Chain A
Amino acid sequence: AQSVAQPEDQVNVAEGNPLTVKCTYSVSGNPYLFWYVQYPNRGLQFLLKYITGDNLVKGSYGFEAEFNKSQTSFHLKKPSALVSDSALYFCAVRRGNNRLAFGKGNQVVVIP
């Protein structure tokens, strides 16, 4: 079954430091991978996706993610974190037509 795992519950990072949110996947076949962010009292916002092609995917708000097939990972990164990046981040993988399997979510706290 298609699934993703987000091993950490919370990521704390100082403002201005690099931010990494980890995601590993388990799929049969080629993975379709997504990152979404949820700010407090809001819906989810799409950040980026990997379907095929370049392993480094650039997305919204300065985020990027690197697809690593050998390590079955799709970590989300940002070179310099902002306080406004504090939010809940979800990794997801396509599971059949029109279904996503979400990870448990990572709370990111950026400390001023």
Chain B
Amino acid sequence: DTEVTQTPKHLVMGMTNKKSLKCEQHMGHRAMYWYKQKAKKPPELMFVYSYEKLSINESVPSRFSPECPNSSLLNLHLHALQPEDSALYLCASSQGNLGDYEQYFGPGTRLTVT
């Protein structure tokens, strides 16, 4: 099973809402990632968890809060978002450090902030 799943597929939220994105993989991968992608642009790295510990935060605003409950699950908690946060949010995983291993991406959550 080389699949990364993400829920929900689509999310519309107001600027005062609190919502969460969920990502799951069952490949035994020890690194998991959150990316933000605008249309026709490359993904922008947000967070990296390595062995369930946050190892990289690319200076992401605090209205985005990641969580890694276990080695298979990754959440992204959203609160007080802005319209410019509307984007495709991609989750990815890799067996280990990049370079030695490639990333597997989920299909993404299309987020619209109204």
Contact with A along B69-82 (1 / 0, CB 8 A): 00000000000000
Beta-carbon contact of A49 and B102 below 8 Å: yes
Report the bound CA distance from A107 to B107 in whole Å. Answer: 19
Q: A36 vs B90: C-alpha distance in the bound complex, in angstroms? A: 14
Number of A-B pairs whose CB atoms are under 8 Å?
60
CB pair B42–A94 under 8 Å, yes or no, is: no
Contacts of A42 in B (CB 8 A): 107-108
With contact pairs A98-B98, A99-B98 given, residues A43 and B106 touching in the complex (Cβ less than 8 Å): yes
Residues facing A in B21-67 (CB within 8 A) are: 31, 33, 40-43, 45, 48, 50, 55-56
B100 within 8 A of A: yes
Minimum CB–CB distance from A54 to chain B (whole Å) comes to 17
Contact present for A88 and B104 (CB under 8 Å) = no
Which single member of A45, A102, A107 contacts B42 (CB below 8 Å)? A102
Interface residue tally on B, bucketed by range: 20 to 34
Taking the closest CB of chain A, its distance from the CB of B98, in whole angstroms, is: 5
CA distance A90 to B40 in the complex (A): 10
Residues of B near A99 (CB, < 8 A) are 45, 48, 56, 98
A44 to B6, CA, bound (A): 13
Q: In the complex, what's the smallest C-beta–C-beta distance from A38 to chain B, in angstroms?
A: 8
Inter-subunit contact A43/B90 (CB<8 Å): yes
Q: Which residue of A lies closest to B108 (CB)?
A: A43
Chain B hits for A45, CB < 8 A? 105
User: Can you report 22 residue pairs joining A to B where beta carbons are below 8 Å apart?
Assistant: A32-B98, A41-B110, A42-B108, A43-B106, A44-B90, A46-B102, A46-B103, A88-B40, A94-B98, A94-B99, A97-B55, A97-B97, A98-B50, A98-B56, A98-B97, A99-B45, A99-B56, A100-B98, A102-B42, A103-B42, A104-B41, A105-B42
| Additional pairs, 18, CB under 8 Å, beyond known A42-B107, A88-B40, A99-B98 | A32-B98, A32-B99, A43-B90, A43-B106, A43-B108, A46-B103, A94-B99, A97-B55, A97-B97, A98-B48, A98-B94, A98-B97, A99-B48, A102-B43, A105-B40, A105-B41, A105-B42, A107-B40
